Amino acid sequence: MSTDVFSDALNRVKQIGESADVSPEIIEGLMHPKATMTASLPVRMDDGSTKHFTGYRCQYNNVLGPTKGGIRYHPDVSLEEVQALALWMTIKCAVVGLPYGGGKGGVIVDPKHLSPMELERLSRSYVRAMADFIGPQTDIPAPDVYTNARIMGWMADEYEAIKRVKAPGVITGKPVRLGGSLGRDDATGRGAYLCVLELAKKKGLNPAETTVAVQGFGNGGYHAVRLLQDAGYKVVAISDSQGGIYSDNGFDVNSIYQEKQRSRRVRAVYCEHSVCELVDHKSISNEELLELDVDILIPAALEGVITAKNAANIKAKYIVEVANGPIESDADPIIDEKGIVVIPDVLANAGGVTVSYFEWAQNRAGYAWTLEEVHQRLEHIMQKSFADVWELTESENRSMRDAAYTVAMRRIGQGIEAHGTRDYFNS
């Protein structure tokens, strides 16, 4: 990940905004986060000592609605990363037409080194620090890297205890019995999968002849390739933070996922019921996976894995960004020159925030939807959003990333113009 990830994100907004004929006033507004909070989070450890962790929450832009975005627990979390993620979330919500602005949060911690009770204390400490900064009509957190439904349940419970109200809409991604939505668990991967289906229609892809590699086998990456395999696509490479595996013959995604839950490792296995056997494969690094000669590459890990240094080595015909910001801005021209079609993160991974929006809407209405309703509504939004971006890509001869950002900035611009801009007041 680039140490200057926020500057890189701003640079991309500025470059695309200027080429898209977006008002300088709108671009300037997107250069500055609305508000950011930094807090020291005291946590009583199991041995009786107290440790302090640093937590962040950024509300980037709320022109189109309350801010929305996940909370990640990771040792590499930084203020700059949180601000970049909040900016991307601002763009993402506008691309898919949600009534949200962008936000993001994070804690500098390796959650693997915490006991379950320490993890709960940390999560509640975060909410105590942020209780006056978040809220169901101001800023709505959700899960992200190394956070999950249980953690969101702890956070929602702590907020309600502090405020002395029932407020299920304050946080999304909760357990279903605590107001969570059906379909949230695979929403990010499903959104990416739906984008691939739309791309296949445009490019005439035959699933049986289309190879897929995924870097990152967490929630988003796993569900994306699981659904693609179910649709007939051939998944030939999978990796996690420890390394990867490759086979021309492809893998059974569910077998590998089942083994990872058991051993915490990505291993080339085929499982039938509880019996697993090793299959022929080649061990590869994450870097090697990115450069495989496959049809579809899915970077689903962290930011900045494709840079100007390795972009020329990318051989995939299509890249689907399930991770946030996996391609740095200085790699964009190289990728475009090679003719690689990129479905950008602000579209490809928008399924997660879309179903989070569904959860928030259900919480506010006090009425739960069926899984079928969630899937149908998600499919409708992803198909329409893909069509909006693709139409601009074709009509203005832009990359899909440029088109997605242009769609978003013009929608944000319409919100700003409704209040009046320099042109209005000087007319």
What are the residue boundaries of the structural domains of the chain, listed by start? 5-14+23-169, 187-348
pLDDT at position 241 is: 84
Q: 424: pLDDT confidence band, cut at 50, 70 and 90? A: low
**Within this chain, domains 5-14+23-169 and 187-348 share the same CATH topology:** yes
What lies within 8 Å, CB to CB, of 132 at 6+ separation is none
Query: Across residues 200-213, what is the average pLDDT?
Result: 96
- Judge: domain 187-348, CATH 3.40.50.720: yes
pLDDT value at 201 more than 90 = yes
Q: Which of 254-258, 259-263, 281-285, 353-357 has the lowest mean pLDDT?
A: 259-263
Read off the pLDDT of residues 108-135 as tens digits, 9 standing for 90 and up. Answer: 999 999 999 999 999 999 999 999 999 9
Residues in a beta bridge with 318:
296, 341
- To the query of whether residue 104 is one of the catalytic residues in this protein, the response is yes
pLDDT value at 267 more than 90 = no
Active-site annotation holder among 34, 68, 92, 104: 104
Query: Across residues 307-321, what is the average pLDDT?
Result: 97
Q: Which of 257-271, 330-344, 373-387 has the lowest mean pLDDT?
A: 257-271
Q: 1: pLDDT confidence band, cut at 50, 70 and 90? A: very low
Q: Which fold has domain 5-14+23-169?
A: Rossmann fold (3.40.50)
pLDDT at position 2 is: 45
Read off the pLDDT of residues 239-259 as tens digits, 9 standing for 90 and up. Answer: 988 889 999 999 999 888 888
pLDDT value at 264 more than 60 = yes
pLDDT value at 104 more than 80 = yes
> Above pLDDT 90, what percent of the chain?
83
